[in-house]
Structure 1
Amino acid sequence: MARNGGMGGMGGMGGMGGMGGMGGMGDFLGAGAAQGNNPILTAGLQTTAEAIVFATGDGPAPVPTQLPENSTANLDRSADWVRGSLYLTDFIKDVGSSVVGEEVSLSFENQNLLSVHRPSASLLSEQSKFVRDYSDLRADRAAEITSQLGFPTEYFAMILALHPAHNRYTLELITVTQLMCSHLAMMAKYSLAIRRPDQVDTRIMPMIATPGHGSFPSAHATEAYGVATVMLGLLDAWQSYADSPDRRELVKQLASRIAVNRTVAGVHYPMDTWAGASLGQAVGGAILGRCGAPQTAKAATYTPKNTDFFGTDFEKLLAGDSVPTDYGVQFGAPVQSTVSPLFNWLWKKALKEAHTGDTNGVIA
C-alpha cells in the first residue's frame, strides 16, 4: 500500500489517517497507543512506586473478573491501531483473486467485485495523450494534488462537516474503507503490471513523484469511490442534514475530482480511474454489507477503452442509465456480504455521531 508522503517517511503504509492524525484511527500505525516516557519520568515513576507501595500490605492481589472472550465489548478498550488491524484481518480473509489469461478478477466471499482486462501496450500510448492534455490544469490544482498524496480524509470532512471531537468513529470508518480499497487495488496492480504514463511518454513529466507501483487501476480512485459509497450509505442512515441531497451530490463530485487529479498530476491514465472507481464502489458496498447497512453497489467488468473519464457518466452507468459512449464498463449483480460483528460495532458507533440541531434532529 505504498503511497506518496505521509506517516513521517514510513513509506510503505503511506498517508493513512488524515485529519492531522486526530480523527478516528489517526495515523493508524501506533494511533491510540500510550506514548513512551522520557528517562526522567521513568525514574520518577520508579522511585515513587518504591516509596509508597508499603501502604498496600503484603497480601495476595484481589481476584479480578474476566473480560468477555472474543467480544466486541472489548473494542472500546483497544487502541485505534489495534481495531484497525482487526478490521483488516476480518475483511481480507474473505478477499479472493484470480488471473485467467489477461483478465484479473477480485472477489469477496466468493462473489465477484471486479473483473478487469489488461490494457494493451498500444492503448497505453493512446491514453498518454489524455494525460498530456490534462497537464494544463496543474497550476490550478497544485494545492489539491499535493495535499491528496495520502488519504484525502479532510476533503470528505469538509463536505460532511466532520470533526475529530464529534466524529471519531465516522473518521475511523473512512480510514478503514481507504485501507481495504488500497489493499485490493494493490492486488490488481501487482497482477496487471501496467507502466505509469511517464514511463510511456517522456513529454508527460509528472508534477509529483511517480509512485513505485503499477498504474492500473488507480488506488486513489478506488479509495475515493469506496469512501463515497460508504459515506452515502451513512448519510442515508443519519438523515440529519436538511441539505442531504446537496451533500450527496458533492460527495460524488469529490470522488471524481480526487480521481481525476491524479491524471492532472501525470501519474494515471483515465482508464485507471474507470477501473479504480468500479472497484471502489464495489468494495464500499462490501464494507456496508459487513456493517449490516443497506447498499446498492454492483459487481463490475471493465474492458479498457481509449476514452476519458467522466464522473457523471460513471454514476449514470452505475444507476443503470444509458450513455452515448462505450466506456467499457458493465455493472452486474449487486454486491453481497455478510454482517461482521467488528464492522457492525464500528457502524453503530458512527451512527451515533449523526449531527443533530433543531427539535426534529435535522440540521436546518
Structure 2
Amino acid sequence: MTMALMRARDAIAGAELISPDAGTASSLDMAARLERLDGDHRAAVMAGELLEDISFSFTDYAPAENTSQTVTVLRRTTDGDALNASYVSLAQITRPGLAEFSEATQMVANYAELRADRSAEIQVQTQHLVPFFASIMPIEASRSPAIREALFTALDVATFVVMRVKLALGCPRPTQFSNRIQPMITCPSHATLPSGHATQAFTLATVLSLLENPAATVAPDSQLYRLACRIAINRTVAGVHFPADSAAGAVLGIQLGRYLAARAGAQINGSGKVGNASFDGTQFTNGGQARDFHYAILNEMTNGTDPSADFTGAATAVRPAPMWGSLVMRAMNEWGQRWS
C-alpha cells in the first residue's frame, strides 16, 4: 500500500509548487472533536478526565506495618481551583486481619465443588464481563456503541482505583494459607482485597441500573446485581478470592458507579452528587466465624443492617466531567431509542 500510494502521488501531483488553503477556525466544540478520535484515544481522554479528581489517603497500623490498615478513596469537591483543590471521601476500605483470612480459607476450599459447573463462566470472565451484562439488557454492539464505550471506560476507571487500593492493603491470597486450594486458573500476583472482578462487576451493574433509571438504588435481587454477585462469587469458586474480597469490591464498585454517574451531571444523575461509603473487613464475620458473600448479604450491606458496610455518608456535589458527560449523553440517547 505504501509503494502504491507513493507511485500514485508521483504520477498525479508531480513536483510543481503547491498553493495551500488558508484554513478556517474549527467549527466543532471539544465534545464533538472527541467523537472524531479513535476509540483508544477517546478512552485515554475520558479516563484521564475522570481520574484527575481521584486521590487516595492511607491509615497505617499502630505500630506501623508494611501494609496500610485502611485506604480512603478520595474525590475532588467543587471548591477551589486546580492548585487549591479540596477532597472528601468516596469510599473507605479497611482490611481484615490475618486471622479472618485464615478462618475463611476452608470456605474457599469448600467452593471448589462448584468448579466443574462454573468452569466456562470463570474462564470467560477472566477476560470479558460486558457480554454477560449485555445478555440482560439490549446493548448490542451495532445499536449501542456509546453505551458499550461508557462501560469499557468504567472498567478502566475501576481497574485503576482498585489496583491502587490492593497495593496499599497488601492482603494475601487463599493459596498463601493452604497448598490445598489449588486454583483452577492462574492466581493473580497482586493482592486479593478488594476483588478487582467484584469492583468492576458492581461498577457496571450500578452504571447500567442508573442508565435504566437515574433514580435507581441498589437492588440486590435485580438481574444486574445478581449477575455482579455471581461474577464475584465465581472468583471464590476458582480459588483466587475470599468472600470478604467480594464484599469490599461490591462497596467500592457501587461507589465508583455512583461517582461516574454524578460526574456525567444531569445526563444520568440530576443531582450531580455522590455520598460516601465504607467497608470494614474486621466486621465482616459471622459471630467470629468466616462469612460468605451473596446477594442476600449484599442486601444487608446496602440496607444498613450489616456492621461491615455503611452507605449513609452525605451526598455532595462533584465537578462535571464534560467529555465523559458527552459520551453518557449519547449513551442515554441510545437507550431512549432501544425500542426503535
TM-score band by shorter chain is 0.7 to 0.9
Aligned equivalents of 1:67, 1:259: Cα separation in 2: 47
Aligned equivalents of 2:184, 2:149: Cα separation in 1: 31
Aligned equivalents of 1:93, 1:170: Cα separation in 2: 22
Aligned counterpart, 1:204: 181
Q: Pick the aligned partner of 1:213 from 190, 204, 207.
A: 190
Task: Give the drift of 1:73.
Answer: 2.1
Normalized against structure 2, the TM-score is what?
0.84
Q: Deviations over 1:7-61 (max 9, x none)?
A: xxxxxxxxxxxxxxxxxxxxxxxxxxxxxxxxxx11011101110114x963411
Aligned equivalents of 2:294, 2:146: Cα separation in 1: 32
Task: Give the drift of 1:157.
Answer: 0.8
Cα gap change, 1:88 to 1:331, in 2 (>3 Å): same
Aligned counterpart, 2:242: 269
Aligned counterpart, 2:211: 234
Aligned counterpart, 1:195: 172
Residue 85 in 1 paired to residue 41 in 2? no
Aligned equivalents of 2:163, 2:299: Cα separation in 1: 24
Residue 308 in 1 paired to residue 292 in 2? yes
Aligned counterpart, 1:106: 73
Aligned counterpart, 2:261: 288
Aligned equivalents of 1:257, 1:298: Cα separation in 2: 26
Q: Pick the aligned partner of 2:162 from 185, 190, 203.
A: 185
Q: Deviations over 1:201-228 (max 9, x none)?
A: 1111100000110001101100000011
Aligned counterpart, 1:350: 331
Task: Give the drift of 1:66.
Answer: 2.7
Task: Give the drift of 1:313.
Answer: 3.0
Q: Pick the aligned partner of 2:313 from 302, 312, 333.
A: 333
Task: Give the drift of 1:129.
Answer: 1.4
Normalized against structure 1, the TM-score is what?
0.79
Q: Deviations over 1:82-128 (max 9, x none)?
A: 11111111111111111112221111111212212222111111111
Q: Which amino acid aligns with 2:71?
A: V
Aligned equivalents of 2:187, 2:178: Cα separation in 1: 13
The answer to whether the 8 A contact 1:297-1:335 is kept is yes
Task: Give the drift of 1:299.
Answer: 2.1
Aligned equivalents of 1:189, 1:48: Cα separation in 2: 55
Task: Give the drift of 1:69.
Answer: 8.5
Aligned equivalents of 1:303, 1:90: Cα separation in 2: 30
Aligned equivalents of 2:247, 2:263: Cα separation in 1: 25
Cα gap change, 1:186 to 1:279, in 2 (>3 Å): same
The answer to whether the 8 A contact 2:262-2:274 is kept is no
The answer to whether the 8 A contact 1:238-1:351 is kept is no
The answer to whether the 8 A contact 2:71-2:168 is kept is yes
The answer to whether the 8 A contact 1:68-1:74 is kept is no
Aligned counterpart, 2:22: 63
Secondary structure of 1:127's partner?
helix
**Which structure 2 residue ranges, 5 or more long, are not aligned?**
61-68, 77-86, 286-290
Aligned counterpart, 1:152: 129
Moved more, 332-341 or 343-352: 332-341
Cα gap change, 1:45 to 1:321, in 2 (>3 Å): same
Secondary structure of 1:332's partner?
coil
User: After TM superposition, which residue ranges in structure 1, 4 or more long, deviate above 4 angstroms?
Assistant: 295-298
Aligned counterpart, 1:48: 8
The answer to whether the 8 A contact 1:217-1:275 is kept is yes
The answer to whether the 8 A contact 1:189-1:215 is kept is yes
Secondary structure of 1:112's partner?
strand
Aligned equivalents of 2:12, 2:173: Cα separation in 1: 64
Q: Which amino acid aligns with 1:159?
A: I
Q: Pick the aligned partner of 2:226 from 230, 253, 261.
A: 253
Task: Give the drift of 1:356.
Answer: 4.2
**Which structure 1 residue ranges, 5 or more long, are not aligned?**
1-40, 240-245
Cα gap change, 1:249 to 1:168, in 2 (>3 Å): same
